[in-house]
Amino acid sequence: MTILKDGPSARAAGRRDAPVNSGVFVQLLELLILAVLAAVVLYQLYAVLGRRVGRQPEEGLPAPTPRRPDETDARPREAEDVAPATGMAGLQARDPSFDPVRFVEGARSAYEAIVRAFAAGDRAALARLVSPTVMTGFDKAIGAREAEGRTETVEFIHPPRADLDSAEASGDVARARVRFLAEFRSRTKGPEGEGVDDRRTAELWTFERRLSSRDPNWTLVRVDEANA
């Protein structure tokens, strides 16, 4: 058996093992430093990304004010009371059956009937379609023509054009104005002989009727000249 003594050979072997142990220690220290750095970086990322930036929708908003169920409907009703409907809307509010298209068609038919009745001197037909005031003017013109011994007939060259100019309700009276453009041929006979006259007219006719009346018919109450 060989006994090693503490001599130069043993000390040399101890010096060869020392660098190995020192290298392992350095590697462990580096790993520990890297782990600490990684933890610091992760913490910073969490601090930045996890933080809410700006005010969130739910932050800082005022609480909604409760509204009573009747508050929304009360304001429109007050506005209607202050500004009632006028013109066409006012008339239709008072008389929902008023149809502008049907009214204009009826007014055109009344226009043709009144023009023909006036030319023929048919007072009975006129009295059913016009007001007493208008009838007074028509009766005077018919009487003057009869006193001169003249007669007249008319025929429309084209169907008259009728346009609703305005419509309204005033109290118990519904009122509508219609603009008529017409071309007709007038044939007259008198002491001097026969005559033919083609005429073109533009007039504004005003019709009225009582809203409280059951009679749906309109009456001619005024005739004015209009621009063609």
**Does residue 13 fall inside a structural domain?**
no
pLDDT at 19 over 80: no
**Does residue 26 fall inside a structural domain?**
no
**Does residue 104 fall inside a structural domain?**
yes
Q: Considering only residues 40 and 176, tell me which one the structure prediction assigns the higher pLDDT.
A: 176
pLDDT of residue 42: 63
Per-range mean pLDDT, top range of 1-5, 31-35, 150-154 = 150-154
- Six-digit token string for 92: 């239709």
pLDDT of residue 33: 79
Helix residue ranges, H only, the chain: 8-49, 71-82, 87-94, 100-120, 123-127, 132-147
Average pLDDT for 124-142: 97
Judged by average pLDDT, the poorest of 29-43, 124-138, 195-209 is 29-43
Give the residue numbers spanning the domain of 149. Answer: 87-225
pLDDT at 130 over 80: yes
Per-residue model confidence as pLDDT tens digits over 38-59 = 666 666 655 555 554 444 444 4
**Does residue 5 fall inside a structural domain?**
no
State the total domains in the chain: 1
pLDDT at 83 over 50: yes
**Does residue 170 fall inside a structural domain?**
yes
**Does residue 64 fall inside a structural domain?**
no
- Residue 119 falls in which region: left (phi positive, over 0), alpha (psi -120 to 50) or beta: alpha
Mention every residue, 6+ apart, whose C-beta is less than 8 A from residue 63. none
- Six-digit token string for 78: 């007050």
**Does residue 77 fall inside a structural domain?**
no
Provide the CATH number for the domain around residue 93. Answer: 3.10.450.240
- Six-digit token string for 103: 């009214």
Nearest to 135 by CA among 203, 224, 221: 221
**Does residue 207 fall inside a structural domain?**
yes
